[in-house]
Amino acid sequence: MVDMAPSSSGVPNAAFGIGKGSLPWPIATFMSTLPLAPLEIAGNQVLRTALDCRPGMFSRLDVYSGKLFAIDPVDCPFVFLLEPRVENPSLRVRTSLDGVSWDARISAVMLVLLGLLDGTYDGDALFFTRDLVIEGDTAAVLALRNAIEDAELDPGLLLGAPNLAAPIVSGSIRRAANVMRRLLGAPTSAQVPVGTFP
């Protein structure tokens, strides 16, 4: 069953063909009551940690480093605005994209977006199964995707775990995420065919 709850842009998930793996609506409703500031602070801390571990991650974006990427978890009541500048990159959190002039928009349920970040999912394949929607400057999205994939981000390190403990933390996070994906019917690697990004 496709989740008909509106995405952070106000458009029902079904309009994007996205719904597999959506967070249950009571969770999304509860999240809408929480302040965004702590999420923005945490997001920027993860971003800084990623750049500490992989300082050249955004340098390969070249002309696309000045683009504004709207990362829209369609099952959550917020959207991330990423500016991956080589100097002073930023991540902002907003309740919607109303009034935001983004260059590229990446939309999927939260579990899929997290899976793209840690390498669980192949973005090309998800695009063709409509579990991932790309709008705007697709060349910029492709450059961002390549930069993140090449960085091989580790969940444990992103959360600040010491080097020795990071693999254990990462394994625990990935196992928990896989359980959630199975319970919520998110795409699995076996369900995602190989495709080519436009």
Domain with 22, as residue range(s), is 13-189
Tell me if 5 is assigned to some domain: no
Predicted confidence at residue 192, as pLDDT, reads 44
Tell me if 3 is assigned to some domain: no
2 touches 165 (CB < 8 A)? no
pLDDT classification of 157: cutoffs 50, 70, 90 = confident
- pLDDT > 90: percent of the chain: 45
- How many beta carbons lie within 10 A of that of residue 13, not counting itself? 21
140 touches 62 (CB < 8 A)? no
pLDDT classification of 15: cutoffs 50, 70, 90 = very low
pLDDT at residue 190 tops 50: no
Tell me if 51 is assigned to some domain: yes
Task: Tally the domains of the chain.
Answer: 1
CATH label of the domain that carries residue 122: 3.30.1050.10
Predicted confidence at residue 17, as pLDDT, reads 38
Tell me if 63 is assigned to some domain: yes
Task: Give exposure, 107-126, as e/b (b: 16+ Cβ within 10 Å).
Answer: bbbbbbbbbbbbebbbbbbb
User: Which residue has 């961002």 as its token pair?
Assistant: 144
- How many beta carbons lie within 10 A of that of residue 20, not counting itself? 23
Task: Say whether pTM exceeds 0.85.
Answer: no
pLDDT classification of 19: cutoffs 50, 70, 90 = low
Tell me if 159 is assigned to some domain: yes
Encode pLDDT of 78-104 as tens digits: 999 999 998 889 999 999 999 999 999
